[in-house]
């Protein structure tokens, strides 16, 4: 048995703490830093997520994890000019893996602050250069180029956590954890998520384009590693809104929908043209954008305060302007880790431009949910598979 001693567990008072495997060697090497208990929880869940995304789509994948749920996840599709601008990557050359991370980190920058990163492929210089200026706890990947490793080792005054994992590692098919001194055991969730899961389309509209299939697969794989209840909105090969750990499904749908709305509103021409002062910090910029597109923009443009953020006083979007912009949006995909019990979830999803839905089905009110989808000409597939994660 090999083990790695940790500073402490979830909290400083929880000692001793370690990670280990009972048979064989740990499949990881710590190349830099001293990752902690929560870091490794995020790292191992994130690694599984990106491996599944790559296996399902054939594209490099990245995820930004926080507190054992993804803040964002994406595959390596190219960025258009709008995405480059709202993700603040400029005109620098981006590898497919770097595109995946830009999307994963950029969808919900507030939630990704202080994230743990997981990459499906060897981290290259392009990806390391994107990670370099961000506030992040660490990264796990199957390897690092010499240039990437040198860049990442310089983060956090040389203390940035860098973990390399053996991509050939296969865990035991049974997994265990203890709660209150009692051991729980179950088979690992090895269920494969792919396009075959989307074949049972139950709505009148059955037109499911390839791009929507990719988005639904992204959403479902994200949900497989998100604390339940959970709902995920996706578009363009990335999660754009994740609602995790809510007791009510409609609250998941609302929370994730609000995040998706923020992602869509960040593309509004007035938001993209906000006149920020030259040396505003990344966190201040991101927080300011989030508040500016919220229902209380006066918090950042109050008399005497706006000069801290902007070179000139911006005009906030009215509620009517925001609604008009969101009403133009279509083509968003929505996944749920369990069935929708009422059509209110679909009503809320419609307000965020959802056109495609994947959920297990099996509610006694499935007819109501299908009817609501038909009202908005949505396509909905019943996957038949619940994806709870605890």
Q: Note the pLDDT of residue 302.
A: 79
Mean pLDDT of 39-63: 97
189 in catalytic set = no
> Minimum mean pLDDT among 1-5, 80-84, 94-98, 194-198: which range?
1-5
Q: What percent of the chain is modeled with pLDDT above 90?
A: 89
> Minimum mean pLDDT among 47-51, 115-119, 252-256, 304-308: which range?
304-308
67 in catalytic set = yes
User: Of the residues 54, 66, 259, 350, which is catalytic?
Assistant: 66
Mean pLDDT of 225-246: 96
Distance separating alpha carbons of residues 181 and 185, to the nearest angstrom: 13
Query: Chain-wide mean pLDDT for the chain?
Result: 94
User: Of the residues 32, 39, 161, 229, which is catalytic?
Assistant: 229
229 in catalytic set = yes
User: Of the residues 170, 196, 279, 390, which is catalytic?
Assistant: 390
Burial degree of 49 (CB within 10 A; 0-12, 13-18, 19+)? buried
Q: Which residues contact 85 (CB under 8 A, 6 or more apart)?
A: 272
The confidence band for 23, taking pLDDT boundaries of 50, 70 and 90, is confident
Q: Whats the size of the chain, residue-wise?
A: 390
Q: Note the pLDDT of residue 323.
A: 95
Domains delineated in the chain: 2-170 (3.40.140.20), 195-265+326-382 (3.40.140.20), 269-316 (no CATH)
The confidence band for 1, taking pLDDT boundaries of 50, 70 and 90, is low
pLDDT digits (tens, 9 = 90+) for 312-362: 999 999 999 999 999 999 999 999 999 999 999 999 999 999 999 999 999
Mean pLDDT of 236-253: 95
Residue 290 corresponds to which tokens in the numbers above?
Answer: 């989030």
Q: Note the pLDDT of residue 387.
A: 93
156 in catalytic set = no
Confidence check: pLDDT of 244 > 80: yes
Total-model pTM: 0.95
Buried b (16+ CB within 10 A) or exposed e, 110-120: ebbbebbbbbb
């Amino acid at each position: 048995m090999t083990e790695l001693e940790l500073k402490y567990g979830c909290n400083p008072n929880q000692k001793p703490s370690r990670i280990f495997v009972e048979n064989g060697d740990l499949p990881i090497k710590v190349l830099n830093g001293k990752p902690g208990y929560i870091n490794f929880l995020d790292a191992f869940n994130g690694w599984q997520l990106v491996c599944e995304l790559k296996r399902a789509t054939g594209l490099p994948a990245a995820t930004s994890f926080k507190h054992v749920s993804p803040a964002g996840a994406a595959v390596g599709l190219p960025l258009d000019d709008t995405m480059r601008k709202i993700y603040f990557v400029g005109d620098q050359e981006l590898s497919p893996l770097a595109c995946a991370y830009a999307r994963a980190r950029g969808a919900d920058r507030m939630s990704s602050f202080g994230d743990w990163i997981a990459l499906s492929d060897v981290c290259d210089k392009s990806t390391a250069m994107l990670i370099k200026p961000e506030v992040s706890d660490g990264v796990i990947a199957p390897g690092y180029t010499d240039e990437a490793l040198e860049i990442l080792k310089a983060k956090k005054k040389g203390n940035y956590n860098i973990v390399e994992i053996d991509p050939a590692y296969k865990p035991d098919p049974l997994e265990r954890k203890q709660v209150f001194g009692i051991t729980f055991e179950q088979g690992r969730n090895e269920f494969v998520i792919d396009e075959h899961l989307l074949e049972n389309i139950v709505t009148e509209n059955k037109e499911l384009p390839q791009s929507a299939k990719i988005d639904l697969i992204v959403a479902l794989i994200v949900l497989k590693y998100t604390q339940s209840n959970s709902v995920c909105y996706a578009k363009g090969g990335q999660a754009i809104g994740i609602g995790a750990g809510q007791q009510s499904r409609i609250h998941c749908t609302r929370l994730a929908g609000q995040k998706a709305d923020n992602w869509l509103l960040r593309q509004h021409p007035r938001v993209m043209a906000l006149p920020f002062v030259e040396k505003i910090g990344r966190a201040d910029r991101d927080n300011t954008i989030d508040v500016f597109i919220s229902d209380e923009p006066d918090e950042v443009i109050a008399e005497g305060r706006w000069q801290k953020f902007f070179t000139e006083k911006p005009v906030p979007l009215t509620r009517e302007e925001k609604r008009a912009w969101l009403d133009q949006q279509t083509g968003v995909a929505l996944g749920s880790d369990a069935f929708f019990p009422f059509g209110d979830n679909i009503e809320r999803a419609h307000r965020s431009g959802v056109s495609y839905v994947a959920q297990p089905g099996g509610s006694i009110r499935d007819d109501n949910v299908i009817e609501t989808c038909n009202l908005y000409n949505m396509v909905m597939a019943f996957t038949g598979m619940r994806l709870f994660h605890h």
